[in-house]
Each structure stands twice: as C-alpha cells, then as structure tokens.
Amino acid sequence: MKSNTKHIAILGILIAAATAVHYIEGLLPSLILGVPIKLGLANIFTLYTLIKFSRRDALILTVLKSILGSFLSGAISGMLYSLTGGMLAFLAMSMLLELYIKKRISAIGMSVCGSFFFNLGQLVVGSFLNGPAMLLYFPLMSILSIPTGFFVGLITTLMLTKLPDIRKE
C-alpha cells in the first residue's frame, strides 16, 4: 500500500511539473517569428516517465498535462492540438522504448522522433481546423523537430543520469 501511495504521489508531482512547464512555455513567444513552434519542454517529463516508470504512467501524464495545461491557459481550443501532438509523440516514443532498453537508441533519439510526431499531429489538427495551408509548415517543422527534440532528449538524459532513482527509495 505504501509503495502504491508513493508511486501515485511521484506521478502527481511529475504531472504537476509537466503541466506547469506546459503552461509557462505557452506564455512564451514562438522560437521563430511566424512559425508556431516551441521547444516542447513539458515532453521532458513524458519521456522521463516513460523510461523510469511505465507506458501507462507516461500516457496518463501526457493526457493530463494537455488537458490541465489547456484549462490553465484558457486556450481550450489548444487542447486538441496538444492532445493530438502529445498522443502521437507518446506512441512514437513508446514504440522505441524496447530499443532504448536494449541500448540501440538513446533518449535523445526517442525525443527527436517524438518531436517530429508531435509536430505532425499539430499540423494535421491545424489543417483540419484552418485548412490545408497549414501543411506548408511541414518541411520547416520537420527540420526544427531535430534541434528541439535533441534539446529535450539531452535534458531528459541529464535527469535520468543525475537524479536518484526515486522508484527504489
């Protein structure tokens, strides 16, 4: 019972941190003027949770971060973008988890892949809501998913190596 309570508490802290970062990053301007792209810093917590805990926990974090972050910001319409991008990124990184465990891909590689699929999901939603012209962003956002995914993966790697294993304490 104590172990389950601790697990829920840790997951709650990770969800709160991801939601806070999601909200704060939403207040910041886009990385490139006129291009709707951010670093995706909240995905650090998704990837960390996926690697350290489970797919189920990472899925819960992804969904709740998107919903809570959208409610906090008042951008309820943004929830569709966040949920779609988040779910595609989660699925992509989740499929790569076994390769990570076998040391055939790094957290950085998983993150770059997740970043690409997050951007793809957002562009698909944008094209349905705003018209197919949104797909013109695809080449640029695909290229930008490499440095943003690299940065998120690098921070996640540092967390994985520097933080104590809170599952065992």
Evaluated on CA atoms 116, 158, 31, 29, the torsion sign reads positive
Evaluated on CA atoms 92, 98, 99, 101, the torsion sign reads positive
31 close to 145: Cβ distance less than 8 angstroms: no
> What does each of the 169 residues of the chain score in pLDDT, given as a tens digit?
457 888 899 999 999 999 999 999 888 887 777 777 788 999 999 999 999 999 999 999 999 999 998 888 877 778 899 999 999 999 999 999 999 999 999 999 999 999 999 999 999 999 999 899 888 989 999 999 999 999 999 999 999 999 877 765 5
Domains contained in the chain, CATH given:
2-162 (1.10.1760.20)
* 133 DSSP assignment: G
